[in-house]
Structure 1
């Protein structure tokens, strides 16, 4: 923490987002240091330099808040870190010591981070007031397609409690309370999560020593923090909780505040409105409409499964009858033990083709789980090895089962001839192949 840093001066935006500074010190990173940098932060660099500038202009990474985004003399600012009270800025560009360089920070990004960090203090402060939980982790990502911040706690919340906390944060925002900085100088290290120095009580997430910067929101929160913040809670605008999940021995909350939250909520409302319009219902009735739609879909699926089950039963009866007729013909010396049913497989909702001791069923509308159920049922009632095929964008889903044959050997054959990929047990295998109907029928005729 650098008390007099420019990045702590509120209102850094517009013209104040750029300033001409002097390069006081330069260091080129070694190949090993570049490798370590890439491993930690990504990217690809033939050379990398770090600079110490005449003023603390860019915010460094720390406390769950990423460093500023920006540029130095037009070169992208890659990273900023604080070491022993000095700031070091990393870029690919090479500037000589003593040169003046125009530095710019991304004012929108700085503001987004300040909005979200300030909202996180309000949320964590309210949790501290009403629950015996501690904030155990904080991370912000205020850029990309999915901006968000995550906060971890060592306890869990109910849906109602989360709703009340969200409403509480927005109530504090509407009060437009001041967000104040307080500095304590020369403090000794203290490892407790809560401290009281004179008349000042505050939260801290880790052991601190030396000068301490406290962010205070009257009657809401007081916390040791090195991040950037707004001047008043009303500047945040809006706060929303995006998701909640159990994490380790507590929970992880994903949330968003400020302009980014407004944009996310606006996008969500447009999606909901579009969905409501497609259902010809107001968006406030989406839960009821969605439930009704689910029930109709479930009913249709049940009807379809019933028809399919009836069709499978008829097919089962037909095959068993034909096998019995073949058995009688063999006993009378008039037949051969060759099963031949149906016609070559074709792209329809249902077709079957049998030859020798194998029966292939094509069930276009069914997924892997349904194919497994049908295969497991018929393989036990038919004296045949059964191969159930389902539709994929390219090729087939495959489930093969038998009461007697080791289907792993058959799977190996499918792999050699039809590029089948999958696995399973002796009784049943499952996987997929990318061949079409022509190749599948040729395989049946040639191999079986």
Structure 2
């Protein structure tokens, strides 16, 4: 933390977003240092330089807040870090020491970060007031296609509690309370005295030296090195995007300020479009969605009924053919080889088998339905059953038997047809990329 830093002056636009500074010190990174930089931050660089400038203009990474985005003399600012009270700026450009360079920070990005960081303090302050939970993690990403911030707590919230917290944050925003900086020099305690009374504040770890506190009256006081707004009303709006259990607590994904407004506007347009497609007002979407779910469930039930009936008919047909062939063999009118169906073809249904194997092709069914059919028929048919479904390239494969160890058959499939999958002795599943010609040739060889 640098108390006199320009980035704490909260200039987010206009002339304050750019300033001419002097290069006080330059250092070129070694190949090993560049490799470490790339490993941590990404990118590709033939050379990399870091500079110490005449003033603390760019915000460095820290406290869950990424560093500023911007440029130095037109060169992209890659990273900013603070080391022992000094700021170091990284770029690919080579500037001599003593040169004056025009520095610019991305004013929108700085403002987005300030809006979200201030909103996070309000949220965490309200949690501290009403719950025995601690903020255990904070991270912001205020750029890209999916801007957001995540906050971790060592406890869990109900849906109603989250709704009340979200409403509480927006109420504090509407109050337009001041967001104040307080500096405590050389203190380490969490309960300290100053002229207008005592102050206690949140902190994630033990602090030494000067401490900067961000205070929102009656809402929150927290040790922080990040950038903030001057009043809560400048945030505008706050929303919780998602909630999930995380380790022994939870992780909340949220957004505030202009980015939240844009996200909510996009969500409203999507909801309005969905409502229009259903010919219902968007306020009736939950009811329309429930009705749609019921119809889908009814269709699924109907599909399951048709599938059950189809399995029974297929089972009956195959057993009948096997019985007829056995009688022909016993009467001396047939060959010793049991033969079912004909070579597989790309139609909705075909089957082909000899002796102990039956290959069944069902083009319209997915893996779950294939598993269901295979598990049912393998118990009633005196054959090892291989069910095939259609993929963009090749087949989905489910193979089962009541007697044969199908893992050995899976190994054969892997050797001959590049089958990839796994399973148990009774049934295996996976896929292969071969076509009908290769599949039928394989069947002829093994049967």
Whether the 8 Å contact between 2:11 and 2:17 is mirrored in structure 1 is no
How many residues get paired? Answer: 447
Give the TM-score normalised by the residue count of structure 2: 0.95
In the other structure, the counterpart of 2:246 is: 247
How far is the alpha carbon of 1:218 from its aligned partner? 1.1
3-state secondary structure, aligned to 2:185? strand
Q: Contact 1:419–1:433 (CA<8 Å) still a contact in 2?
A: yes
Quick one: distance in 2 between partners of 1:354 and 1:447?
A: 10
Q: Which moved more, 1:103-112 or 1:388-397?
A: 388-397
What CA distance in whole angstroms lies between the structure 1 residues aligned with 2:278 and 2:43? 46
Name the Cα RMSD after superposition: 2.0
8 Å CA contact 1:177, 1:233 repeated in 2: yes
Q: CA deviation at 1:74?
A: 1.2
Tell me the secondary structure at the aligned position of residue 271 of structure 2.
helix
- In the other structure, the counterpart of 1:167 is 167
Residue 8 (structure 1) shift: 0.6
Task: Describe the SS at the equivalent of 2:440.
Answer: helix
Deviations 1:395-428 (A, max 9, x none): 2110011122222232223223322211222221
Spell out the pairing of 1:328-343 with structure 2 (5 A cutoff).
328-343=327-342
Shift of 1:119: 0.1
Task: Please report how far the alpha carbon of residue 75 of structure 1 lies from its aligned counterpart in structure 2 after TM superposition.
Answer: 1.1
Query: For the residues of structure 1 that align with 2:195 and 2:342, how far apart are their CA atoms?
Result: 85
User: Which range moved further: 368-377 or 238-247?
Assistant: 368-377
Q: CA deviation at 1:231?
A: 0.8
- Mapped contact 1:194–1:202 kept (Cα < 8 A): no
Q: Structure 1 residues 279, 349: closer, same or farther in 2, change over 3 A?
A: farther
The Cα shift of 1:309 comes to 1.7
1:26 aligns with 2:26: yes
Quickly say closer, same or farther: Cα 1:308–1:23, change in 2 above 3 A: same
Structure 1 residues 72 and 260: CA distance shift in structure 2, 3 A: same
Aligned to 2:283: 284
* Counterpart-to-counterpart distance in 2, 1:415 and 1:28: 54
1:56 is displaced (CA, Å) by: 0.4
Shift in Å at residue 124 of structure 1? 0.6
Mean Cα deviation higher: 329-338 or 121-130: 329-338
Alignment of 1:300-339 (within 5 A): 300-339=299-338
Greater shift, 17-26 or 325-334, is seen at: 325-334
How far off its partner does 1:353 sit?
2.3
Aligned counterparts of 1:149 and 1:68: Cα–Cα separation in 2: 16
Any idea what the Cα deviations from partners look like across 1:175-225, whole Å, max 9, x if unmatched? 111111111112146x79999995222211111121111111111111111
- For the residues of structure 2 that align with 1:73 and 1:384, how far apart are their CA atoms? 77
Q: What is the alpha-carbon distance in structure 1 between the residues aligned to residue 194 and residue 46 of structure 2?
A: 47
Moved more, 135-144 or 39-48: 39-48
Q: Report 1:42-441 matches (<5 A).
A: 42-188=42-188, 198-441=197-440
Superposition TM-score, scaled by structure 1 size: 0.95
Unaligned runs of 5+ in 1: none
Kept in 2, the 8 Å contact 1:195–1:202? The answer is: no
- Offset, 1:267: 1.0
Is 1:81–1:87's contact at 8 Å kept on the other side of the alignment?
A: yes
State which drifts further: 326-335 or 106-115. 326-335
Q: Per-residue deviation at 1:352?
A: 2.1
| Partner deviation per Cα, 1:269-290 (whole Å, 9 max, x = no partner) | 1111111111111111112211
* CA distance in structure 1 between the aligned counterparts of 2:236 and 2:264, rounded to whole angstroms: 12
Deviation by residue 1:113-172 (Cα, 9 ceiling, x = unmatched): 000000001001111111111111111011111111011111111100000000000011
